[in-house]
Structures are given as C-alpha cells and as structure tokens.
Structure 1
C-alpha cells in the first residue's frame, strides 16, 4: 500500500471537542484508510467544516495523511513579484478594490507596469472619514464605506466563500491574501472570512507589493473623461477630474457597483451598456443567540460552545418569478451606513474577524428585473436601474429623518402593516426611526418580502418573530448595469482597449469572484499590449 510514497487523503468526522486533537485525527485517518495507527506518520488539515444538522455538532475534516512516510514540509505562501523593467507596457487600472488589486498583481507577474487610479483615499486615511458618517451622519462623497483603497470589501465581513470555483483559481486568491497577512485558516475553512479589523492591513500589504515592484497607485484620482484614438473606436487613456492625464492602450475598468458617475460618463460617451437584474430590500437583524440556538439545536438557555463560531444561515426561495433570499449574512456583526451621497441612506453589513457582536444581520432582498425599472427608462435610459435605486435611497433618508438615521420596523409589525410602537436594540450606530417599511418599499418588493418572511419562519421558527427587526434599505447588492465585453478578448465590443471588470461591470458578486475577474482582465490587457 502507498508504494509510491505519496500522501493519501481521508475524509473523517469527529466530535467537536476532538476536532483539533492530533491523536484523534491520526486514529480517525487510520480507521478510514484501513491501516494500523502506527503507520500514520503525519496528518495535515486541508479542509474543515461544521456539521450542525444533528446534536451534538460534529466536524468534517479533509486530512492529508502520510502512511509509512513523513509528510513533506509545507510553508505558508509568500509574496514575491518581479520588478517591472524599464520600458514595460503600462496597464491603467481604474479602481483599487479586489478586482483592481489582483489585476495589478497579475500585471506585475506578466511583466507589465500597473498604474492604478483610485478615486478615494488610502485605507488609513479612509478610516478617519468613516467616523463622521457614524457620529454626525455626514458622508464624504469620495471617501466612505464604498470608495477608497480596497473598495467596499475593506470594511465588510471579508467573506471569501464563493461558488464560482469553475471560473478561476480560488486557491490562488486565498494564498495571495495569506501572503499579505490574512489568517492562514482561510486556506482550510469551508466558509472563510477575514474580518474588517484585519482587512485594512492586508490591503496595505498588497499596496506595498505593487509599489515595491515598480507599479504606481494614485489616490484621489477620480476619472472624469476618456481619451480615444483618431478612429473613435479605441481607447488611449483617461483624464482625471483634477486635469491629470494617463495614457495607455489598455484600461481595466474596475470601479465597483457604486461608482455611478462612471456609468454616467460611459453613457455620455455613447459606450454600450446593458440593463441587468439586481436586488433590493432591507437588513434583517436578530440576536446572535437566536441564530445560534436554531442552527446548533441548543436547548432553551443553553449557550453556544466556545469552540463553535457564531452561526450563519442562508435562506432563499422564488415567489412569483422573483428570487427572495438572504444576502451577505454577517454573524456576530454590525449594520453600517453605506451611502455614497448625503441625500440617501443605504445599509450594509460587516463583522470583525472574531464575530463577537451580540447581533446577527443579513440582507433580505428581492430580485428586481430590468422591466421593473421601465418607468425610469425614458429619462435615464440604460441607467434606469440606478434611478430606481436612487429613488428608494432618497426616500429611505427622508423616512429616517436625515443624518443617516435609518427607518426600521419590527418584523411582526411589518407583517401586520403597522408602525412599530417600539424598536428593538440594534447594532446600527447612527440610530433608527420607526417607520412603515411596508409603505416605503416598492410594492412588487414588499409583498414578496412579506411572503418570504412567512415561508422562512417555517424553515427557521422565530425568524419572523418577536426578536426580528427590519432596517432599511439595502439597495447595493449588485450593479443594475453590465458593461459588455467580448468572450475571447474581454474587451468592450465597440471600444478597443477598454476591459470592463469586476462587480461594477457586472461580472462578479463578491471579493473572490471580483479578484478572479481582475486576474483574467489583467491577462487579457497585457496580452493585447504584447501582441504583435
């Protein structure tokens, strides 16, 4: 057995209390592989997930096992990028969120010089601009939870779980994060996350890698114009709002789904865009103890084991042709103000790496199809979905009373169609105002949410009960616009040299998928510049 001396793999299930015990792992691996325990020379964790379907909770482990042979030494990923050579081709990258960051790193690996233009500030300066949002309800419209180094993902839960494993190298994304300071556990966790307290330093480290290898990053560089070739069908560079000009025949557009001025710029330039589905709704908040109790089958009054993480959930259904689902669930998290302008209120979720807040929150949203935004099409054209979002965000601000206060309603009152006389405690720092969300939300969204709540309450008893509260409104789940690109070259079909990328262009839905799209876009952009 094992004559080639290569490690074997064993999938084993252990009780929670034994999951971290090396001896227990060795014994379980030996039994699974049908060998004597003494032949197990080493075990290494490759994947870990909880099985909370039954009581007590058990842990599923994927182990790499050395039978009659020691496992080879394994070191953590390191960051090393070749220095850009003199005269290397330049790729312009507009936006330094996950897509832009990974595009820049890939450009370095391929021998090109990335020149990044980020409208917001570096992550350290950006922190100072978040305090006025929380405490005074004043939004810096160029530096906030959405705009700045690292993009919207920097101050978020940092969830890395993705189902897009067939679209790119997920493992490479995780290893790059670890090489830049993320916890090594993300390489083995089934649902990895980094946390908003750790992400800023990871983002800084990625910036240092780009700069150390000869790349450029320009902050507070808001792109306001395009430079076209004489034929009008090729891109030659961009112009910033402060007059700076940057030239290149390859521009990766990685601006995120909240950069509405970029969509308006493309519209003015006559560049083809398409409407696409998105989703809007609210944040639903519960005590984390309620979610723990249900997911871990705890008895009344029983506390979660310190060995268990804050429990998460995922709920989805379809009602009258529209998806109704939880979105970006944040166990042990906070609800934060994610507006990018002062006349709107937008809520989102985040959590720290330890996920120890007493609250759990999730987006609770309904799919909006392009035809649902037709009333805005005459005035706004392809940007009708953005107009739909904006109207709801402004109405949400008015309902909250301004200064980023958010309208809220207890779920039991939402279902009965009445204003809440009192509100529950919340993690949303700017404060709440009791308001009839059933009147604020668009009708086609509201009634599906109502039916969805009742359905989910059957799946998770109490989900729509006394301890549940809705906080409005969640509108930035994804871009309502897609900037089209050719399947082979990844360029815009009618503007050569423009590479639409990431969430803002409609090709990703989270940190990992955006990062993978950044890698692909960089490969396509560098390939164009190096082609004969």
Structure 2
C-alpha cells in the first residue's frame, strides 16, 4: 500500500525536491520520519490561468510499508519453443515479440524495411534527393513510423491494456524515467533508435528472430485457418499463428487480403494539413505572454471544433518540432511532424485534420473497403502534382488560404524538401477545404494569435490512422473468419499511436498464449 497526495507549485519550484517534499508532507499531515520512501508519480502543467502552476501527484510509503519492485520485463529462452510469426517491427510488432518471449513463445519477426541505422540513408534520400524508397522510409522499417516521426507516448487508451507496463518496458530498454511521470510523455526521435535497437537485441538474445528486408507477399489459408506465409515472393514458411502488425501505410497488405477474400472494411480516418507556427508565438499564447520562462517547456496545444457536421481537430502536435516527408511511394506526398527530445527547434507544428467517415465521401459505395483509401491516395497524388511532382509540398499562409489568395512569399519552413506556393482551395476537396477554413477562424478565437498569416499550411497531413480496418473476434482477437490470423495495431484499426499499438501487440500475444494454455 502507499499514499497519494496532490499538490501544486510554481514552475521555478519544480527542481527543489526538498521544498516539494515539505509541501506534500504538510498537506498529508506527515513528518519525514513517518515515511520510508517517496516519488513523484505524475506531473502536468496547468496554464489555463495565471499564475501558471505545476500539478504534482506524489506517492508515499510509510515506515511499515514496503515499496515493491517488480522487473518490467521477464525474459526466458525460447529457442526451442512454439513459433509465431509477427509481420512488422513497429511498436505493435516489437512489443508482441517481447511479450511472446515472456509467454514462452518464439517470435519470428519479418520487417519489410531496414534496421534503424540503415533506414537513415533512405530518410536522407527523401529529404535531400526527394527519392522515396517504397520499402524503407519514415513509415517502413525497424521501429515503424514512430521511430523517426516523434516518439510521443501519450494515449487515451486506458481501457485497452496495461499502459504502465508498456511505458516501463520503454524505460527498461533505455528511455528516461521521466516518461513514467509526465502527463504527455515523449522520448524524441533522436533517442528512439537506440531504444528500438536494444529491444531487438533482447528479442534475439532470448531465442527470437528478427529479419529485415523481409516483406509479406502471400498467405496460405486452408479450412479457414492460416497455414503458411510467403516472404519476398519466394520463401514459404509454415505458421499456425500470424500477428499482422503492418502499420497504417501498408496498402499492399490490404490489397493482398482482399485478393484472398479475407474480409476487410473501410473505416473512418482523418485528413487535412500540417500547420507550422513559430514556437515562440505558441509559447506566448499558451503562457499568457511569458514566452521566455526557463522553467517551462515549449508549449503545446489541442484544438477541436465541429464544422458542418464533421470534427476538425489538431493532431500529433509537435512543440519545437520539424515537419517531415512521410510518403511511401514516389508519386505522392505526405507530411508528418516530429520533435527531438529537447524540443528545441524554433518551430511548432501540428496536423489540423477533418474526421471523415466512409459515407461522407463522394465516391462512397456500400461494402467498398477501399473508399477511404482511394480518397486518401487521390489527395496525396494531387498534392504531389501541385508540388511539381517532387517531395516538395503545396503550401499557403493561413489567412491567404482562408481568403483564397496564393501566398507571394513564406517565412522559413522546417520542411527540408521545400514548399511550393499554391491555393490549397483548388487542390484539397471542398469537403476538407471549406471545413478547415472555418476551423482556423474558430481556433483563432480560442487561441488569440493562432490565426495569423505567419502560420504556413503544408499539404497534406493524411496518415493520421488507417483508412481500412481488419475485423477480428473481440474475445480471441483472431480475424473473424480466419483462425490464427491476428490483425494488430494501427494498420488493423486497433490503435492510434505508439503506446496503444504496443499494448495491442501484447494483447494479441496474450490471446495466442491463452489459446495454447486452454489446449493443454
């Protein structure tokens, strides 16, 4: 047992542990001699009014209480154990593999892309030469999309599984312990690659396997059960259990499943633009004019508005961040955002997207699993064409967009491939453009100063989530028609970020382990 106490302090007091302890003890009516140990459990900023406060939750153990320490990851040698295939080495796939080792199963991970070190060359080629490697890019490769596109660990998916376990695994494999405390934890793209490498090494050291440049190209089904998979168009391997953790951008997997008459469905997703402001402006707005407070981190924001029946909201907000090119094919452009661990770049960027359901789209047909995917692809290609058929993106200042003017010049952008002046009203479908314009005006009323011509819109922000879902049984987590096939993570429609994807990977392996336990 332990005792939890909530206190609020000023930002300049947050490094003074002695002061924090004194304030908490006084509130709890305890003395230092009454406790055996303590820690800060949660930390958040309350900037809704002045003065800005830091809210802390402290946990105390009294003298007669024991602070238990449980190892977050319990390895076992699975070299000779039952094999399961895991397709994809993103957070869902890696966590599935780690959980398999704990559960006494041998994970065989197949990743179409390269390891984190080799991926860097392909990312440089996108940024500098505007060449997209369809198998190795910001979305495909070890660690998945999150490795080089931010590493935010915040999730609202508290009911989906053990969030603390997922976070503790990150710490176990090298992340800073602060992620266990912060309300909006973040690792940073500069630190994630080493952590991901350590996870992979743990998988292999305990008898698992990880194969790169290994793309799933076919599936064999017999009697409505999976029996084998094909890798790289030639290498067939037998498996009774396959965790399909391929991410939100593996369109070829959706087409493969459809060709095999394996049921997939269109699902709601969101699409819009990525907006970039100066970070100093966002700090000034959020911190009531105090934009140079050394005790406060770069400010973030979250905005949402209902516009003409559809939600418009900020997504994946990156304080002190950079906009990145995240296309997975040559004839498309896609933007995303990321921040280094210090979040110390001069720009703030965020997706501002419109939530779209299949029936909202002009080409909607009942039962068409690709209606949202086709819409997504159409927007990405039109933006690619408007950007000069390169990885440059069409861009427009915010007020110019609302007023329908092509911008004559731009402030400096963090987007390395570059931007091209265009009227996004002519490029984006009316479904999106009209709602975005109304939302920006509304957001400017909620955040005084946000609606400014110093903000630049980069189009499109289109990979917020998968536009296709792969239905599964709620109890067994297997596909509703195919035994042994476990749709998992963002690509299957069951996660919306690193932590929720990681939890879903754990859940799928738990379902496999439970199946074998019941058969014993």
TM value normalised by structure 1: 0.94
Q: CA deviation at 1:466?
A: 2.7
1:440 aligns with 2:440: no
Q: CA deviation at 1:242?
A: 4.1
Q: Measure, in 2, the Cα distance between the counterparts of 1:246 and 1:175.
A: 34
Q: Secondary structure at the match of 1:293?
A: helix
Counterpart of 2:228 (choices 223, 237, 240) is 237
Q: CA deviation at 1:374?
A: 5.0
**CA offsets per residue over residues 210-233 of structure 1, 9 Å max, x none?**
10110011111111101122x2x1
Q: 1:374 to 1:420 in 2, by over 3 A?
A: closer
1:340 aligns with 2:328: yes
Residues 112 and 213 in structure 2, CA contact (< 8 A), matched pair in contact too: yes
Q: Measure, in 2, the Cα distance between the counterparts of 1:477 and 1:22.
A: 39
Counterpart of 2:358 (choices 356, 364, 370) is 370
Superposed counterparts of 1:59-138, under 5 Å: 59-67=54-62, 69=63, 79-84=73-78, 86=80, 88-138=81-131
Q: CA deviation at 1:450?
A: 0.7
Residues 218 and 233 in structure 2, CA contact (< 8 A), matched pair in contact too: no
Q: CA deviation at 1:100?
A: 0.5
Q: CA deviation at 1:298?
A: 1.8
Q: Secondary structure at the match of 2:159?
A: helix
**CA offsets per residue over residues 309-344 of structure 1, 9 Å max, x none?**
110000012112211000000000000000000100
Q: Measure, in 2, the Cα distance between the counterparts of 1:426 and 1:203.
A: 29
Q: Measure, in 1, the Cα distance between the counterparts of 2:488 and 2:334.
A: 24
TM value normalised by structure 2: 0.96
1:30 counterpart residue number: 25
Q: CA deviation at 1:167?
A: 1.3
Q: 1:500 to 1:56 in 2, by over 3 A?
A: same
1:3 counterpart residue number: none
Q: CA deviation at 1:43?
A: 3.2
2:207 counterpart residue number: 214
Counterpart of 1:298 (choices 279, 289, 292) is 289
Q: Measure, in 2, the Cα distance between the counterparts of 1:80 and 1:494.
A: 34
1:257 counterpart residue number: 248
Superposed counterparts of 1:115-514, under 5 Å: 115-229=108-222, 231=223, 233-298=224-289, 303-373=291-361, 375=363, 377=365, 381-514=368-501
Moved more, 19-28 or 331-340: 19-28
Q: 1:463 to 1:247 in 2, by over 3 A?
A: same
Q: Measure, in 2, the Cα distance between the counterparts of 1:409 and 1:59.
A: 37
Q: 1:335 to 1:77 in 2, by over 3 A?
A: farther
Q: CA deviation at 1:66?
A: 4.3
Q: Secondary structure at the match of 1:32?
A: helix
Q: Which ranges in structure 1 are unaligned for 5 or more consecutive residues?
A: 1-5
Q: Which ranges in structure 2 are unaligned for 5 or more consecutive residues?
A: none
Moved more, 133-142 or 365-374: 365-374
**CA offsets per residue over residues 284-329 of structure 1, 9 Å max, x none?**
1100001101111125xxx422221110000012112211000000
Residues 85 and 111 in structure 1, CA contact (< 8 A), matched pair in contact too: no
Q: Secondary structure at the match of 2:42?
A: strand
Q: Measure, in 2, the Cα distance between the counterparts of 1:76 and 1:18.
A: 31
Superposed counterparts of 1:35-54, under 5 Å: 35-36=30-31, 39=34, 42-54=37-49
Counterpart of 2:52 (choices 53, 57, 63) is 57
Q: CA deviation at 1:411?
A: 0.5
Q: CA deviation at 1:97?
A: 0.5
**CA offsets per residue over residues 458-493 of structure 1, 9 Å max, x none?**
000121213211110111111111100011111111
Residues 79 and 209 in structure 1, CA contact (< 8 A), matched pair in contact too: no
**CA offsets per residue over residues 133-180 of structure 1, 9 Å max, x none?**
000100111000000001001112211111111111000001000000
Q: CA deviation at 1:41?
A: 5.6
Q: 1:71 to 1:469 in 2, by over 3 A?
A: farther
Q: 1:91 to 1:30 in 2, by over 3 A?
A: same
Moved more, 117-126 or 16-25: 16-25
Q: Measure, in 2, the Cα distance between the counterparts of 1:315 and 1:339.
A: 26
Q: Measure, in 2, the Cα distance between the counterparts of 1:27 and 1:186.
A: 24
Residues 400 and 453 in structure 2, CA contact (< 8 A), matched pair in contact too: no
